[in-house]
Structure 1
Amino acid sequence: MNMTLHTPETIYSPRHVPSWLLLSAAAGIVNGFAFLTCQQFVTHVTGTLTRLGIEWWHAALAFEYAAVLIAFLAGAIAATITIQLRANSSSRTRWATPLVAVAMLLSGVAIGGGAGWFGVFGGTVASDPPPVVLLSILAFSMGMQNAAVASTTGLAVRTTHLTGPMTDLGIHLGTAVLSRHHERWKALRGAALRGGKVLAFVFGAAISVSLSATLGYFILLPAALFVTVAAALSFLPDWSPSDYPYSVRCRGSKHQRDSSASRIAVN
Structure 2
Amino acid sequence: MLRKHSNNRTLRDNIQLGSLSAFSAGMVNVTSLIVFFAFTSNVTGHYAILAEEISKGNWYQASVVFAWIFLFFIGNFTSNLIIINFNKKNSYFAHSAPLILEIICLVGVGFYGHFFYLETLTETEIMIGLMLFAMGLQNGLTASISNFSVKVTHLTGLTTDVGILTAMFTKKEYRNNKLLRGKLSVLLAIAIAYLSGGILAGLIYFKVKFIVFFVVSAVISFIIMYEYYKLKVTKFMRVKRRKYALKASLTH
Q: Same fold (TM over 0.5)?
A: yes
Between structures 1 and 2, the one with greater helix share: 2
- Map of 2:29 onto structure 1: 31
Distance 1:105 1:199 in 2: 25
How much does 1:242 deviate?
10
Q: Which moved more, 1:56-65 or 1:163-172?
A: 163-172
- Map of 2:7 onto structure 1: 7
TM value normalised by structure 1: 0.78
Distance 1:163 1:235 in 2: 32
How much does 1:142 deviate?
0.4
- Number of residue pairs aligned between Structure 1 and Structure 2: 235
Select which of 31, 42, 52 maps to 1:54: 52
Select which of 145, 162, 168 maps to 2:161: 168
Matched, 1:68 2:61: no
Distance 2:169 2:18 in 1: 22
Secondary structure of 1:43's match? coil
Distance 2:140 2:158 in 1: 15
CA gap 1:6/1:244 in 2 versus in 1, 3 angstroms: farther
CA gap 1:213/1:136 in 2 versus in 1, 3 angstroms: same
- Map of 1:84 onto structure 2: 84
- Contact 1:177/1:184 (8 A) holds in 2: no
Amino acid at match of 2:147: G
- Map of 1:150 onto structure 2: 143
Secondary structure of 1:204's match? helix
- Contact 2:106/2:134 (8 A) holds in 1: yes
Distance 2:156 2:197 in 1: 17
TM value normalised by structure 2: 0.82
- Contact 1:79/1:148 (8 A) holds in 2: yes
Secondary structure of 2:154's match? coil
Kindly, what percent of the aligned residue pairs are identical? 19
Secondary structure of 1:177's match? coil
CA gap 1:181/1:32 in 2 versus in 1, 3 angstroms: closer
CA gap 1:171/1:70 in 2 versus in 1, 3 angstroms: same
- Contact 2:43/2:69 (8 A) holds in 1: yes
Distance 1:105 1:244 in 2: 36
How much does 1:4 deviate?
6.9
User: Unmatched 5+ residue regions in structure 2?
Assistant: 246-252
- Map of 1:259 onto structure 2: none
Distance 2:118 2:184 in 1: 41
Distance 2:225 2:14 in 1: 10
User: Unmatched 5+ residue regions in structure 1?
Assistant: 253-267
How much does 1:176 deviate?
2.2
How much does 1:16 deviate?
5.0
Secondary structure of 2:176's match? helix
Distance 2:185 2:155 in 1: 14
Matched, 1:104 2:104: yes
- Map of 2:18 onto structure 1: 20
How much does 1:154 deviate?
0.8
Distance 1:198 1:235 in 2: 26
Q: Which moved more, 1:27-36 or 1:164-173?
A: 164-173
Secondary structure of 2:169's match? helix
Secondary structure of 2:32's match? helix
- Map of 1:258 onto structure 2: none
- Contact 1:176/1:185 (8 A) holds in 2: no
Distance 2:123 2:118 in 1: 12
Distance 2:130 2:15 in 1: 27
How much does 1:21 deviate?
0.7
CA gap 1:183/1:55 in 2 versus in 1, 3 angstroms: same
